[in-house]
Amino acid sequence: MLHQKVLQEYRNIVNLLHARQVYDAMQRLRLLVKETQKEFINDRLDNLLETYRNILKHSFAATHDPEREKVYHYLIRSLLEMADELKEILLTDARSNNTYQIKNALGRERRLERREALAYLEQLTFDKQLSGLLQEVNVADSKQMPLREEALVKIFNIIWLTDKYTDAEMELLNAACDSEKLPWHDKALLVSALTLSLLRYFDVSKFMILFRFAEKKEELVWERAMVGLFVAFLKYNDRFYLYPVLEEKTLAFREFPDIEKHIEAIVIQFTKSRETEKVRRKWEEEIMPAMLKMRPKIEEKLELDQIFKEEFGEEKNPDWETVFEDAPGLLDKLQEFTEMQLEGMDVFMSAFSQLKGFPFFREISNWFVPFYFENEAIHTSLGAGSGQTDLTPLVQKLENSYFMCNSDKYSFCLNLAMVPEQQKAMMLNMLSNEMSSFSEIEQDESLLNSFAVTKSIYTQYFQDLYRFFKIHPWRQEFDDIFDLGVDLYDTAFVKHLVWGQKTIRNIAELFFDKKFYADALKVYLGILENDKSNIELFEKIAYCYEKEGQFDKAYDYYLRADLINSDRPWIMRKLAFCSKYLNQWENALRYYRQVEKAEPDDLKVQANIGQCLVHLERYQEALDYYFKIEVLAPENHRIRRPLAWCSFLIGKFDTAQDYLERLLANDPNNPHDLENLGHVLWCQGKSEEALKYYRQSLDAMGSFSDFKTSFNEDRKHLENFGISQFDMDLMLDFIKMSES
C-alpha cells in the first residue's frame, strides 16, 4: 500500500472512531491487518469486537451498566492504538521515506545501537541509579566507545523512532532526567527527541516523561519540556478524554508555580509563529467570493467600493484599549528579531534558511541541539592558534545571547568559519560591537526578571521548531505543528491550566491582534457570558463576525453595542457597512446619513451615501454626491464611473459619454466602460458605433456568457430609453456571430 494511501486510510479510521462509528472503523482496520500480513492481530480485533457487542447489548438492556462509558472509552482507546500500530508497521516495512528508512535500519541494529547509547550515558554520568540499570551492559565488549557526538545522534534517533517505550527505556529516561551529571544540553536534546517521538507516535508514557522533565525545573531543559507538552496536547487533544491519567496529571500541574503565566507565554509565542497566510487566503478565496456572489452586478460594473482604495471594511475602533500587552522586557526591545522571525518575515529567517546546508544539519538531532560553547562542532570553527582569527570571544557572547535561536547560532558560526581570514577579522570587530549593544539590552533590568528569561527560552525553542518544520529538507514527512488547524484555546491542556479571567482575556486579545478572528471570537463569547456590560466585548465580537463574513451576526452585535452607547460615528459606520453586505440599502443609507452629520467633510462617507442611492435607484441624488466628490477630489478618476452611469440613467447622454471616453483614455480595455459606452451610443441612435464598443467589451471580457449576463442586467435601462426587447435580442445574436 502506498504511503499516502496508508495515511489516508489511517485518518479515515481515526475520524470514524471519534465520530463513534465503531463498527465501520473495525471493518477498515481488518483491511489494514490484511495489508500487514500479521493475521494474529485479527485475534485482538475479534476480542474488541466482542467487547463492542457486549456494550451494545447492555446499552439496550433493562438494567443500566454504570461501567459502560469506561469500557467504551477503553474500546476506542484500544482501536486507536491498533490503528497507530498498523500504520507504523506498513510505513516502516515499506521504507517509504527517509524517516522510515532510518527507522528500519535502526530496527535491524537496535541491540547494538542501544548498548552503545547506554554505554555513553554510563560513562558520562557515573550515577549509581544509572549504573544499576547498566550492569548487564559490558562496555568492554565494545571495540571502541562511540564519539560523544555520534552517541548523542544514536540516542536521539532511538528515542525519536521508538514507538512505545519499554519499562527499561522508561527507567533509563527517568534516570537521565534525575541525573546530576548529565549536562543540561544533553537533557535538552533528550526532551526534543521525546517531543518529536510523541508527535510521531502517540504513547502516554512519553507524556509522563515530559511532565517529569518539566517538574524537575532544570534551567534550559524544563522550558523545552513545557513546549513539548503544549504541542503534543494540541495534536492529541481529541484523545485527552480517553486517558484519565492525562487529565489527572494536567490538573495536578495547576500547582506548578505561575503555571497560568507560563501557558500564556507559550500561547503567545506559538500564536506569533502560526501561518497568517492561510487567514488571508481564506478571506480572499472563500469569504470574499461568496459575498460578491450575493452583491448586485452593478457593484462589479461601477466598482463603487473602490472609489477610495482602502482595506476591505472599516478600520478598528481607535478607542479600543490594548488589553493584550506583548511579552515585556527583552522581547519588546528585540521585537524585530523575534516576532517577525517567528512569522517568517524577518531577516534572520530568510537569511539563515539558506545556511542549513552544512553537514552539521544532516542529522535531525542537530536541528535541536542547544548552542553551547563546548560543542565540538563549534570548536572546529573557532580558529584559535595557527595565526587564525580567534572567534572564541564572539562565540562565548553568542552562547548567552537571546536575540538569535540555537539553530541560527550554529548556522552563523559554521558560516563564519568559512570566511577568508582578512574578512573574518573585519567582521569580528563589527559583530563584536553589535554583540556588545545586544548585551547591554539583555542586561537591562527586564532580564533581572527570571520570567523574562524563561519567555526568551520559549521564544528561541519555538524558533528552532519553526525552522525544522518549515525548512528541513524532509519537512514533507512530518506533521507541521504550526499548521495543525486546531482550536488553540479550546484544547483541554490549555483550558485546564488557564482559568483567570485576565489571562483568558489576554489570549483573546492576542488572537484578535494577530487576526485569528475565529479563535478570538470563541474566547470572547466565553468571556461575554460573565460580563455583559462591557461595550468593547460586543464591538470586538461583532468585528470578528464581520471578518469571518457573518454579517448578520456582526450587525446584531454592533447593534447591541450601540444600545449601550448610542450614535457613535464608528458604530454607525459598522452598522452601515454590514447593512451594505446584507443588501439592506435603506438601512445603510440611514446610518451613513447619521455619520454625515458628525463628519460632513468625509469624502468616503459621501461616496458610500452615493453608493446606497445608486442601489436604491435614486440616481439624481447619487449624482449630486458624486459631483461633490469630483469637485473636492478631482484627481480621483474612479469617481467618473458612477458619474457616467448616473448621468446615463437620467438621460444626460453627452455627459455620460464624456466621462466614459475619459475613463477609456486611461484604461482602454475596461469591459464595463466599453459596454456602458455602447449603451449610451445606442440610446442616442448610434447603433453601429454601439456595436463596435459592444464587440470590444466582449473581447475584453473573453466570454460571451459573461457579456450576455452583464448586458441582460441592463435591459430595463435600455428599455426605458425606447430600445425594445426584440432589438436587444437581435443585438446579442449579432455580437455573438461576430465572435466566431
| Residue 322: predicted pLDDT | 57
Could you tell me the pLDDT band of residue 116, with boundaries at 50, 70 and 90?
low
pLDDT, the chain, mean: 84
| Residue 318: predicted pLDDT | 75
Across 481-488, average pLDDT: 85
Q: Look at residue 201 and tell me whether its pLDDT is greater than 90.
A: yes
DSSP code per residue over 49-109: HHHHHHHHHHHTSSS--TTHHHHHHHHHHHHHHHHHHHHHHHHHHHT-SHHHHHHHHHHHT
| Residue 275: predicted pLDDT | 61
Across 664-691, average pLDDT: 95
| Residue 631: predicted pLDDT | 93
Q: Which residues contact 562 (CB under 8 A, 6 or more apart)?
A: 568, 571, 572, 575
Q: Which residues contact 74 (CB under 8 A, 6 or more apart)?
A: 51
| Residue 296: predicted pLDDT | 64
Torsion angle in degrees (nearest 10) through CA of 408, 413, 417, 423? 90
The CA-CA-CA angle for residues 618, 619, 625, to 5°, reads 100
Of 61-70, 478-487, 512-521, 588-597, give the range with the top mean pLDDT: 588-597
What is the spatial distance between Cα 450 and Cα 440, in angstroms, rounded to a whole number?
Answer: 17
Residue 12 or 349, more confident:
12
Q: Look at residue 127 and tell me whether its pLDDT is greater than 60.
A: no
| Residue 155: predicted pLDDT | 86
Could you tell me the pLDDT band of residue 272, with boundaries at 50, 70 and 90?
confident
What is the spatial distance between Cα 5 and Cα 221, in angstroms, rounded to a whole number?
Answer: 38
Neighbours of 180 (CB within 10 A): 7
* Grid coordinates given for 220: 534550559
Residue 345 or 247, more confident:
247
Across 607-613, average pLDDT: 95
| Residue 346: predicted pLDDT | 37
Q: Look at residue 386 and tell me whether its pLDDT is greater than 70.
A: no
Could you tell me the pLDDT band of residue 483, with boundaries at 50, 70 and 90?
confident
| Residue 345: predicted pLDDT | 38
Q: Look at residue 696 and tell me whether its pLDDT is greater than 60.
A: yes
| Residue 423: predicted pLDDT | 72
Backbone phi, psi, residue 537, to 5°: -60, -45
Integer angstrom CA distances of residue 367 from 196, 565, 727? 12, 54, 73
Where do you find CATH 1.25.40 in the chain?
660-740
Residue 413 or 696, more confident:
696
Q: Is 181 helix (H, G, I), strand (E, B) or coil?
A: coil
pLDDT in tens, 502-548: 999 999 999 998 888 999 999 999 999 888 888 999 999 999 999 99
Of 207-216, 354-363, 656-665, the poorest mean pLDDT is in 354-363
pLDDT in tens, 286-334: 666 665 565 566 777 777 777 765 544 557 787 776 544 443 333 343 4
pLDDT in tens, 249-262: 999 999 999 999 99
| Residue 404: predicted pLDDT | 82
| Residue 387: predicted pLDDT | 60
Q: Which residues contact 528 (CB under 8 A, 6 or more apart)?
A: 534, 537, 538, 541
What is the spatial distance between Cα 563 and Cα 533, in angstroms, rounded to a whole number?
Answer: 11
Residue 237 half-sphere exposure toward CB, CA atoms < 13 A? 18
Across 432-460, average pLDDT: 69
Question: Largest Cα–Cα distance in the chain?
Answer: 106
| Residue 442: predicted pLDDT | 55
**Site of grid cell 428599455:** 719
* Grid coordinates given for 495: 483550558
pLDDT in tens, 135-149: 433 433 434 434 677
* pTM of the entire predicted model: 0.79
Residue 567 or 592, more confident:
592
pLDDT in tens, 43-53: 999 999 999 99
**Site of grid cell 542537530:** 366
pLDDT in tens, 578-595: 999 999 999 999 999 999
Q: Look at residue 166 and tell me whether its pLDDT is greater than 90.
A: no
Question: Residue 548 in contact with residue 287, Cβ under 8 Å?
Answer: yes
Closest to 228 (Cα-Cα) out of 261, 256, 270: 270
Could you tell me the pLDDT band of residue 394, with boundaries at 50, 70 and 90?
confident
Return the CATH class of domain 660-740.
mainly alpha
Backbone phi, psi, residue 19, to 5°: -90, 5
| Residue 338: predicted pLDDT | 44
Q: Which residues of 629-666 are buried (b: 16+ CB within 10 A; e: fewer)?
A: bbeebeeebbbbbbbbbbbbbeebbebbbbbbeebbee
Of all residues in the chain, what percent carry a pLDDT higher than 70?
Answer: 81
Could you tell me the pLDDT band of residue 20, with boundaries at 50, 70 and 90?
very high
Closest to 489 (Cα-Cα) out of 237, 252, 225, 272: 237
